[in-house]
Structure 1
Amino acid sequence: MSWLFAQPEPPPPPAGGSSGGGDKPKDKWSNFDPTGLERAAQAAKELDKSRHAKEALDLARMQEQTSHLEYQSKIKEYEAAVEQLKGDQIRTQAEERRKTLNEETKQNQARAQYQDKLARQRYEDQLRQQQALNEENLRKQEESVQKQEAMRKATIEHEMELRHKNELLRIEAEAKARGRVERENADIIREQIRLKAAEHRQTVLESIK
């Protein structure tokens, strides 16, 4: 657009000879007023401006409209990018929530399985403890029964031994008593025999006399 600011060239000075009229150049241009030329140049500039002003304005308007359209297009692109970013963020957040929920679900399931495992282990431990306690009680009962049976057998054996000893003592006492009686009877018999013998001897002696 250099033509908008182009300035017309000033007209060349008129050519004059050195002879004729006898006027010197200094005398010829001594009364020249340059303001008129300047006004003419300014008028030409304004005229040139006025000729191209409408075109320049239209061009400026077209450029402004183009810039405005480009600006609107960029705004729409920006808004579309923002909406896409929002959509991406929403999808990302939804995916993160889904992953979080899945992870929480897995953790809850793992925790529930672990709690169930612990509960079953506690139940099995309780069963084993109860079984061990029952076996211990049964063992103690069997030991108690065995002790009672052993005590009963020992009591019976002791009673039988006492009876046997008493029977032996009774038999021994009876034997001693019979022996004593027999000894006493033998003494009596011997005395009777001695008396009879003495009596017989006396009778024989008397018969001899």
Structure 2
Amino acid sequence: MNRNYDSSSRESRSELRGKRRKTNLVLNMLIGLVILLIIFVSVKIFFGGNDENAAEKEQKIESKQDEKDIDTEENKNSAIDENKDEKQTESETENTDESEENSADTEADDEIDPIPANEEEEVVTEGGSNGNVKKTIENPSWNPIGTTQTGEHYAVYDKESVDWAEMLQAISYATGVDQSNMNVWFLGNNGFNKSVGTITTKDQKQIYRVYIDWVDGQGWKPTKVEELNKVEKK
């Protein structure tokens, strides 16, 4: 009876030890699994975080590059616009210069340059229409001095008029006295589209009475010059 009890008791201990080994094995496996999971999650977090940081860095780099490209493009466009503005300014300056040159040319054209008379054809006669005339000069080669006026003509004796300026030019042409050295004592009507003027040099050493006629489309033409002894206001 004791033998049977001992045998049964050994079998129970053996079974307990077997169960404990199994339990320990399962626990060890579970512990191993937990450790593997911890390692896996740690690796995932670590390397995944690096990937995200790398992606963010890459995004930032691309964003900065895009901004640089935009700035570069804007700078190029700005430079092109500035270049266009400079060219436009240069063009406008050139056009202004050309306009001024054309205006100057037009003004120069307006200054009439009559054909010089042939002095060899002058006919000089002592005396003249009255006792104050020292000598009378006539020259068939005198020409109309030209004109800027158009249309039907009527003599105008307004000192601010074009007609007055052209009459003085005709008188200067006939006498050889420059207008800057001329005193006008009289300039008035001598018939339809005919005028007569009395002028002197500023030192009054030369005194002239000049007769001029209007030629349609060609301007005033001198017809006779009288050199006077003294000034007559006609």
Bucket of the pairwise TM-score, normalised by the shorter protein: 0.5 to 0.7
Bigger CA radius of gyration: 1
Q: Does 1:193 align with 2:114?
A: yes
Q: 1:130 Cα deviation (Å)?
A: 1.1
- Which deviations, in whole Å up to 9, do the C-alpha atoms of 1:34-80 show, x marking residues without a partner? xxxxxxxxxxxxxxxxxxxxxxxxxxxxxxxxxxxxxxxxxxxx222
Aligned to 2:63: 140
Q: How does 1:10-89 map to 2 (within 5 A)?
A: 78-89=1-12
Q: Does 1:106 align with 2:24?
A: no
Counterpart AA for 1:118: V
Compared CA separation, residues 170 and 115, structure 1 to 2 (3 A):
same
Distance in 1 separating the partners of 2:76 and 2:221: 72
Q: 1:206 Cα deviation (Å)?
A: 5.2
Q: Using CA pairs below 8 Å that are at least 6 residues apart, which structure has the higher relative contact order?
A: 1
Give the share of equivalent positions with the same residue, in percent. 9
Aligned to 1:155: 78
Structure 2 residues not aligned, in runs of 5+: 117-141, 145-172, 175-219, 226-234
Distance in 2 separating the partners of 1:197 and 1:82: 170
Runs of 4+ in 1 over 3 A off after TM superposition: 199-203
Equivalent residues, number = 127
SS at match of 1:193: coil
More strand, by proportion: 2
More helix, by proportion: 1
Aligned to 1:167: 90
> Normalization by structure 2: what TM-score?
0.49
Distance in 2 separating the partners of 1:97 and 1:108: 16
Aligned to 1:118: 41
Q: Does 1:176 align with 2:104?
A: no
Distance in 2 separating the partners of 1:121 and 1:94: 40
Counterpart AA for 1:150: E
Aligned to 1:90: 13
